[in-house]
Amino acid sequence: MKVLPKADFPRFFGSAIKRPDLWMNEIHSLIALIDAKQFKALEQWPHGALIRRALEGQQVKPGGFVTVLLPGPLPALVGLMPASGEPYATLALAAHLVKGIARYRPAAVGIITLVEASQEPMATDALVSAVLAATEAQPTAKRTPPNAWRPTALRVRSGTPKRTLASANGAHLARWLTQLPPNVLTPGSYRKAIGTLARQQGWTVDTYDERRLQRLGAGAFLAVTAGSANRDAAIVHLRYRPKKRSTRAPIALVGKGLCFDTGGHNLKTASSMLMMHTDMAGSAVALGTLLALTQINYPHPVDAWLALAENRIGPKAYTQQDLITALDGTTIQVAHTDAEGRMVLADTLTLAARSKPAAIIDFATLTGACVGALTERISGFFTNRAQLRAIVEDAGHVAGERMHGFPMPDDFDEDLESPTADVAQCLIGGKGDHIYAARFLSRFVPNNLPWVHCDLSAAERIGGLAHVPHTITGFGVRFAHALIESADFQRLIAP
């Protein structure tokens, strides 16, 4: 399948979420989050006394839940807010509630919260996000598709914030694309899918194909693509502009989009190569974030720069000890052909920086070292602004997508010194590779430009993560959405 068909494009959420006045008469099941301090207020709910007796009778602790069969019969899964009150823990609890209610396969689900006013938006967001993540359509080539539970309506007592739905759509897009097999999502079909989405969302598209990149001198990107039999690799530039003109420079989202990574001549083993169709997750996160911001009518411009390529083996594939000249003139000594992500990002970051954005945020499944340091539960990041570290970590906390900041001292550059070029691509051996990768990339971002590099160690996790039940987590969209909307980030990048 060379072209991504319209049937293999996700349908976004929206029409099924309603807030009817007589919502209790229109649901077939209930999921609820309750603060233990609010037990007395349960008496005001329909069947609240029954729910309270169940919680007290089973001695449910904060972070736990109970199943209650209400008159109707109406199955209900009721959870007590975690003692920590943290978004991640709340999202994880919401996932348990949704898993429990899914056994009943209800056609309409009601969502209700009884928590402190300050926690209500977060609690509602967790429940809605968990339902949507559990019931979103998955790409499949089965002749008989799985009989998945898909409720026809989601009734939210307190209303659903627009940003919850936008983040869910963005993350759904990221997960959908990342799951597609490498013979379906090639750089060429990916470009066509992006074109379709751009027309739907009103984005403008500018494509830097291989011929154009050759003319510009983007040797780092082209070194990686040289081994591919297809000449469909490209850097795709998308522009979102709000309807009301903004005087601000755009935020630039940069994504690594390796649709398949063999490792090149430094070939991966079978087990390491098995999931390398997901090495484009960074580009999917950048694209999903752009979609989420578009759907909330974000008031300032945003650009996305997607590096779409493959790292294949062929007679023209780049090799160790090659000398490569990047787009900005930097010469690179190739040390390992499986360090291709930092090569395609080098030229993509250069292009993004030349557009004079307010800030750059890049996303990449870049190093195994970051997974080794953090596992698949947390993603790492690096930044060239000390004040950004706390802002980024706080955004990850708020989103329930935890981010950990690593140091990036410039003395690490001593180890990347090359006898034949301006810089060595990487070290052989793997110690601290996530730090060396960040130092390498920092060469292609001007010091006067705020920059965050996200190494997506949590892009995949068997069994899912937080509210997401899928191995492909879509991690990064919720975080990036929260970061860009945060007041502290806005103050830092404001002119």
Instruction: Note if 461 is an active site residue.
Output: no
Catalytic residue among 268, 377, 385, 443: 268
- Three-class DSSP category at 151: coil
Instruction: Note if 248 is an active site residue.
Output: no
Please give the pLDDT value at position 1.
Answer: 30
User: pLDDT tens for residues 150-196?
Assistant: 887 788 877 667 899 999 999 999 999 999 999 999 999 999 999 99
Angle at 440 (CA atoms; ends 439, 445), nearest 5 degrees:
85
Please give the pLDDT value at position 6.
Answer: 43
466 touches 353 (CB < 8 A): no
Q: Give me the CATH topology for the region 20-157.
A: Leucine Aminopeptidase, subunit E; domain 1 (3.40.220)
239 touches 194 (CB < 8 A): no
Catalytic residue among 342, 402, 439, 478: 342
> Structural domain boundaries of the chain?
20-157, 166-493
Give the containing element (helix H, strand E) for 109.
Answer: strand 108-114
Give the containing element (helix H, strand E) for 166.
Answer: helix 162-179
Please give the pLDDT value at position 2.
Answer: 35
Indicate the pTM of the whole model: 0.94
User: pLDDT tens for residues 63-111?
Assistant: 999 999 988 888 999 999 999 889 999 999 999 999 999 999 988 888 9
- Three-class DSSP category at 252: strand
Residue 414 one-letter amino acid: E
Please give the pLDDT value at position 30.
Answer: 87
Residue ranges in the chain modelled with pLDDT below 70: 1-27, 159-160
The CATH class of the 166-493 domain is: alpha beta
Q: Shortest CA distance to 331 belongs to which of 220, 202, 421, 234?
A: 421
Contacts (Cβ under 8 Å, ≥6 apart) of 296? 162, 163, 166
d(CA 473, CA 62): 26
376 touches 465 (CB < 8 A): yes
Angle at 188 (CA atoms; ends 455, 183), nearest 5 degrees:
80
Please give the pLDDT value at position 477.
Answer: 98
